[in-house]
Amino acid sequence: MSLYPRPVEELIDHFARLPGIGRKGAARLVFHLLGKSDDDVRAFAEAMVAARVNTVFCRECQNLSEEELCPLCSGSGRDRATLCVVAEPRDVAAVERCREYKGLYHVLHGVISPTKQKSPDDIRLKELLERVGGGGFLEVILATNPDTDGDTTALYIARMLRPYEVKVTRLAYGLPMGGHVEYADELTILRALDGRREV
Residues of this chain that bind a second copy (CB under 8 A): 1, 3-8, 10-11, 13-14, 18-21, 24-25, 27-34, 36, 38, 41-55, 64-66, 70-71, 88-90, 92-93, 96-97, 182-183
Q: How near is the Cβ of 101 to a second copy at its closest, in Å?
A: 13
Q: How many CA atoms lie within 13 A of 166 on its CB side?
A: 28
Q: Which is nearer to a second copy, 62 or 169 (CB)?
A: 62
Q: Which is nearer to a second copy, 85 or 94 (CB)?
A: 94
Amino acid at site 67: E
Q: How near is the Cβ of 168 to a second copy at its closest, in Å?
A: 26
Q: How near is the Cβ of 51 to a second copy at its closest, in Å?
A: 4
Q: Which is nearer to a second copy, 44 or 173 (CB)?
A: 44
DSSP 59-123: TTT--EESSSS-HHHHSSSSEEEEEEEESSHHHHHHHHHTT---EEEEE-SS--BTTTTB-GGGT
| Best CA proximity match to 8, nearest among 20, 23, 19, 21 | 23
Q: How near is the Cβ of 59 to a second copy at its closest, in Å?
A: 14
Q: How near is the Cβ of 57 to a second copy at its closest, in Å?
A: 10
Q: Which is nearer to a second copy, 100 or 130 (CB)?
A: 100
CA distance 173 to 196: 8
Q: Which is nearer to a second copy, 46 or 186 (CB)?
A: 46
Q: How near is the Cβ of 34 to a second copy at its closest, in Å?
A: 6
Kind and range of the H or E run holding 12: helix 6-16
Q: Which is nearer to a second copy, 83 or 87 (CB)?
A: 87
In the three-class reduction of DSSP (H, G, I as helix; E, B as strand; rest coil), residue 199 is classed as coil
Q: How many CA atoms lie within 13 A of 134 on its CB side?
A: 10
User: Rg (Cα) of the chain, in Å, rounded?
Assistant: 20
